[in-house]
Amino acid sequence: MLRLIRIFVLSVFIFGMRGDFTFASKDDPKILFIIPSANFRDEELFYPMKIFLQANWKVDIASSVKGHIKGMLGNSIEALYLVYDVNPEDYDVIVFIGGSGATEYWDDETAHEIARKAAEKHKILGASCIAPVILANAGVLKDVKATSWISVKNRIKNGGALFMDGPVVVDGLIVTVNNPESAGEFGQALFDLAEKEGYAVEY
């Protein structure tokens, strides 16, 4: 029953976003969500996405494949871009979305290079649930406070992260979240940080 409720709520969110993609112009700030080719976690994408779309941000979706990709709760999104073609300098915020499929990027050098370049260029970098392992393996969590799904706690600690037992952790320009239930808080933390850095659109 809880799973059905989540699907219904997310479906309402997705339906409400369909027209929002036309709001942004080429001069608006841009956020990139990187999702796995299957089984991303729906809430971790759609709740933050809703926040940024409502603020007139340009939102792009990238994956290792193009086309419609289904989430773990049955919702889907179209990935128009390949991770292999991503230039981190084109975005103000880059977010790796979790879900069981996110393991495909744990040891992916392209994903690691995106994370490293984003950090080097002082972009805001986010990761949810098990996706912080990507950041840890890329080497960008060394001495950085971060959280993750509890099952991968040791993986991010092995990457040098200072593990924090909280739902959402912000350290500098890196934002992490440890569970799907905190996806809204995660999205708001990303947006608040973007606003603090001067990226938010006035509307």
> Which residue blocks in 18-164 are alpha helix, DSSP H?
42-54, 109-120, 132-138, 153-158
Reported confidence tier of residue 199, pLDDT bands at 50, 70, 90: confident
Residue 133 has pLDDT above 60, yes or no: yes
Q: Is residue 4 assigned to a domain?
A: no
Residue 10 has pLDDT above 80, yes or no: no
pLDDT, one tens digit per residue, over 75-132 is 999 999 999 999 999 999 999 999 999 999 999 999 999 999 999 999 999 999 999 9
Q: What is the structure's pLDDT at 18?
A: 40
Q: What is the structure's pLDDT at 28?
A: 82
Gap between the Cα atoms of 86 and 123, Å rounded: 14
pLDDT, one tens digit per residue, over 106-122 is 999 999 999 999 999 99
CATH number at residue 181: 3.40.50.880
Q: Is residue 55 assigned to a domain?
A: yes
Q: Residue 89, exposed/middle/buried by CB under 10 A (0-12, 13-18, 19+)?
A: exposed
Residue 8 has pLDDT above 50, yes or no: no
pTM of the model: 0.89
Reported confidence tier of residue 23, pLDDT bands at 50, 70, 90: very low
Count: domains in the chain = 1
**Which residue range(s) make up the domain with 138?**
27-194
Q: What is the structure's pLDDT at 53?
A: 97
Q: What is the structure's pLDDT at 201?
A: 62
Q: Is residue 47 assigned to a domain?
A: yes
Gap between the Cα atoms of 114 and 197, Å rounded: 20
pLDDT, one tens digit per residue, over 141-155 is 999 999 999 999 999
Q: Is residue 101 assigned to a domain?
A: yes
Q: Is residue 10 assigned to a domain?
A: no
Q: Is residue 40 assigned to a domain?
A: yes
Q: Kindly report the average pLDDT of the chain as a whole number.
A: 90
Q: Which amino acid is at 84?
A: Y
